[in-house]
Amino acid sequence: MLLRTIDYGESDRVVTLLGRSTGCVGAIARGARKSQRRFGGGLDLCVVGEAGLRERPGSELLTLERFDVTQSFSSLGADVACMGHAAYVAELVAKLCAPRQPEPGIFDWLTAFLAALDGDGPSAERLRIFELGLLERLGFAPALEACAACGREDLARAGATIDVRWDPGRGGVICKDCGARGRPMRPVVRQELARLAAEARRGMTAAQTPSGSAASAAGAASAPATSAADVARGCRDALRELIGTHLSAPLKSLEFLAKLPREAGGEA
């Protein structure tokens, strides 16, 4: 799957690919901006295909000799909001996944997300579920049911009023006794994040079982939103803070999302 392309020189492109067996790899496509025989229109964002790759002595970049498209998502190029959401998840995967580390579960999870995006349009809730599933697979899942510092487990006790704070640097929610770092988090936001995380776990299981498919996983990730707008924003902001702790620079795709009208999927 093609995650990113950058024009290089007069006719070449540098591409970032995600493969089920190869993980993220970078490659240079010589003459890609002119060649219709080897690449045609195949080097579009998030297309899936079979790549012919060759090692380049002394270089981290491979050579992309051909790319034959096997699956594309037609709405991504026709709808600006769909394109924005696709660009965001592609950039997120490219930045968070280690180079050449096979991640078949992430490949399937991303394919499921794109299939749902192509079929049903953009959804802020589905985006949150994707983020949580990706973090889970990479071992960065936030602590939501227990304190990230001391392990206190009664944060979700029925009828309890437990003062929790969100500390992305420590991996999630922390109880009041573990310090004043982070910022206050309303119980309803923590509960909604926990619900979305459970959806993500179910969706990833469906995507990775032999009987599961991209469609079934995406179905789990497209449940109707039940939270109020301010709770949804709280979930979005908390996850962006957590993701930011694992990035060396801000994501460029977020600038694009911020420019879209809210009704068109902006600030998702």
CATH topology of domain 76-268: de novo design (two linked rop proteins) (1.20.1440)
What's this model's pTM, rounded to 2 decimal places?
Answer: 0.88
Q: Is residue 255 within a helix (H) or strand (E), and if so which, with residue range? A: helix 252-259
Domain with CATH 1.20.1440.120 in the chain: 76-268
Domain with CATH 2.40.50.140 in the chain: 1-72
**Digit-coded pLDDT (tens) for 190-239:** 999 999 999 999 998 887 654 344 444 444 444 444 457 899 999 999 99
**Digit-coded pLDDT (tens) for 23-40:** 999 999 998 887 666 775
Percent of residues, the chain, with pLDDT higher than 70: 85
DSSP 163-226: -EEEEGGGTEEEEGGG-S-SEE--HHHHHHHHHHHHHHHHHHHHHHSTT--HHHHHHHTTPPP-
Domain 1-72: give its CATH architecture. Answer: Beta Barrel (2.40)
